[in-house]
Structure 1
Amino acid sequence: MGMEPEPLSFNTPEGDPVTWEVEAEPWHDPFERRLTLVVQGTRLVQRRVPRAEGRDREYLYDLLENEARMGARLLTRLRGDYPPELPRLLGYSLDAEEPFVLLSDRRGEPVTRYYGALLIAEQRGLQVSLFRAVRILSACGIVHRRIDPSTVRWDGTTVQLTDLSHATLAGARRLRLGEAPYASPAQREGVGVASTSDDLWSAGMVLYRTITGRDVADRPDLAATPALQAIHDVFSAAPPTASEVLARLRAPDPMQSIPVERDLALEEGRVAFDRAREARRDPADATAAPATPAFDDRTRVQPAPAGEEPRRTWLTRWLPLDVLLVLLLVLWLVNR
């Protein structure tokens, strides 16, 4: 018995409202299901927050919105051929009772299925593709923060790095997130600012676990693993960049063929996203403090240069008294 087509209404990444006819699989997972577009036959993934889950765990809405935000950021930066290593945002509906995002279909299987079973050529291919993903995210100013065996998929040729719900912008304050061994020590402790080095650590751990089949509690010893010599220092205090690792693997830098640009239509779509985001918020919260636009990084307040704030405070405090003293001096000279 075939699935019955149903209409699905949402906003495109540009903010345009559309309705697609889809055939939907049952919700075996309350947070995710696969859809098929009736006309094109394209497969996609719908990720949502069920009503009951959102009532008990409000933060799930924030994670879903963050997934849309990061997906839109990638679209605004990667206007050429979209890399297969990353999920592509196709649309969102954040003002629905059960909000959702639409993403390109999953490829491959979680790397947990390949522990210790990859051929030598596949081991190299896995490393190249995973560090391509980290390199592209880095060029777009994004730190994934949750690279682990559950978010890395492999189809025998290319990695797909899924789940951007915990991603953040490079340079943002680090928050405690993740556990050993996949989260870096700095990320687990929540010190400093988010950096691509966090993703390098996580990617290295995923590669070690997948290629060797061995588990590890902390920093692994790579000396006895020739296939991983290209990443021998990703767990050090001074890790290499993703592009340096790719060079060691004799793989080209993907950013040489993927220009990072800004798409004005998608930038305008951010406004529609923000409206949808605010529509779901409690009106009392919305009136208490205006929300910062979710996508526009230019709205972030830049810190004042060192010493500027104390100087401005001094002038504000003493300038009226200075003016009064000058006036009194002038009057005294005139009346002499």
Structure 2
Amino acid sequence: MVTNHSTAQTGPDDLDGVPVRLTFISPQGTRQTVPSRMGGERRRTTPPPLAAHDVLLGGSVQAVRLSCAAGGTDAEGQRKLEAEIRAALCLHRAFHGTPYQSLFPSLVGYDMDAEEPFVVYQVPRGDSAAQLAYGISTTEQRTIERDLVLAVRLMEGLGLVHRGLVPAAVRWDGKRAQVWDLGAVARIGSRRVPVGMPPYAAPEQRHGVGRADARDALWSVAQIVYQLAAGQQGDPEGPPRDLAAYRSLERPLGDAFAPVAEARPAPAEVLALLMPGPDPAALVEARPDPLEPHRQDYDRAMERKRRAAGLGPYGFGHGVETPAAGTARTAAPPGEARGRRRAWFGGPVGGRDTRGQ
């Protein structure tokens, strides 16, 4: 979940830290130990207590290491890092090996049991979208628009919503967009907490009103694409006054500027205009999950432990909770509940399996 505000790429010669052997758990659940060297710090679009550094793994793989800064035992940092790892694992398990995996950070490994817990990603691709205004063609703008809506829809299929979509959290390599800052991911239907910056965060999200909705992220996409097209930020409370001047933006995303989620179109509706054909989110439903009962047992055990330790609810994001019974989680088509449960109970995070404890 790390973005770099610089276009410069780090090379092996820049990673001059003391060589160490780094042990981590791969996304497949296997423990690996490889030689590594730590590099300089990378800027993030989200505040501490998590910090990011470049790292060279195995002498060839450039990566980004995100860890708890200034004391890995800090409860807030631990909780945020755990939420980020769970989001990364959910996306990896759902989309690795599919055409959609490039839309999200590529997870290398993690370890929540280390003295300084961490997660490692492959480096972001391309440049930050914060640098792209007036620097790309209309065709490229439309491709970014399509990819961002697609990412929002795919995450919705997993029951997730990205609450931190800003230009600096989006990368562009000339062909595809990539969405970072997974620590800002929350569960659809969880209570909104005041988070995000205008104009990119929807008004009800900034004010912490109601429950998280995939259409919150659609507002963010509309604001980002408007800034790419207009070269300036949009209105933090509603549609930009000159929206009609950008007809290609007005047609698919015009209603996404509505101040409340209920007045915005569903991500699937917008995606159908940009990418006609079957709904890609059906990919999530097509994969059976025989481990789901075990993951539910694991999460119940983790919930008991967190409550006993006074750490608050267990799940994605900051200040979120399990949606109340009967709460509508999204406006998406029926049948996605199975995919959402898979996301919420994404399997153990860390080197120890605490199921049943």
TM-score under structure 2 length normalisation: 0.70
Choose the corresponding residue for 2:27, options 2, 7, 13: 13
Change (3 A) 1:201 1:294: closer
1:225 aligns with 2:224: no
Aligned mates of 2:73, 2:265 — CA distance in 1: 40
Are the equivalent residues in 2 in contact too, given 1:14–1:269 (CA < 8 A)? no
Q: 1:99 to 1:167 in 2, by over 3 A?
A: same
Aligned equivalent of 2:82, options 62, 65, 72: 65
Matched residue pairs, number?
293
Indicate which of 168, 181, 190 corresponds to 1:150: 168
Work out the CA distance in 2 between the residues paired with 1:43 and 1:250.
33
Partners of 1:262 and 1:68 in 2: CA distance: 22
Which residue of structure 2 aligns with residue 31 of structure 1?
A: 51
- Is the 8 Å Cα contact of residues 24 and 33 (structure 2) preserved in structure 1? yes
Name the one with the larger helix percent: 1
Q: Map 1:279-294; keep pairs closer than 5 Å.
A: 287-288=308-309
Residue 214 of structure 1, aligned match among 203, 221, 232 = 232
Across the aligned residues of Structure 1 and Structure 2, the Cα RMSD in angstroms comes to 3.5
How many angstroms does 1:248 deviate by?
1.8
Identity, % of aligned positions? 29
Larger radius of gyration: 1
Q: Could you list the per-position Cα deviations for residues 91-120 of structure 1 after superposition, in whole angstroms to 9, with x for gaps in the alignment?
A: 211122221111232111111111122212
Question: So what's the TM-score if we normalise by structure 1?
Answer: 0.74
Q: What are the superposed Cα offsets for residues 137-187 of structure 1, whole Å, 9 maximum, x if unpaired? A: 111111010101121111111111101112111111111111321111111
SS at match of 2:146: helix
User: 3-state DSSP class of the match of 1:147?
Assistant: coil
Instruction: Report the CA distance between 1:304 and its aligned residue.
Output: 8.2
For residues 197 and 301 of structure 1, the distance between their equivalents in structure 2, rounded to whole angstroms, comes to 17
Amino acid at match of 1:21: P
Instruction: Quote how far apart the aligned CAs of 1:274 are.
Output: 10
1:180-195 residue pairs with structure 2 within 5 A? 180-195=198-213
Change (3 A) 1:226 1:264: same
CA contact (8 A) 1:8 1:19 kept: yes
Match of 1:240 in 2: 265
Q: Distance in 1 between matches of 2:181 and 2:55?
A: 18
Cα gap change, 1:211/1:241 in structure 2, threshold over 3 Å: closer, same or farther? same
* Contact 1:274–1:293, Cα closer than 8 Å, also in 2: no
- Say if 2:100 is the partner of 1:78: no
C-alpha separation in 2, matches of 1:287 and 1:257: 38
Gaps of 5+ in 1: 306-336
- Alpha-carbon distance in structure 2 between the residues aligned to 1:255 and 1:287: 41
Structure 2 residue runs without a partner (length 5+) = 1-11, 44-49, 328-357
Q: Distance in 1 between matches of 2:291 and 2:121?
A: 19
For the residues of structure 1 that align with 2:167 and 2:311, how far apart are their CA atoms?
38
1:88 pairs with one of 84, 91, 106: 106
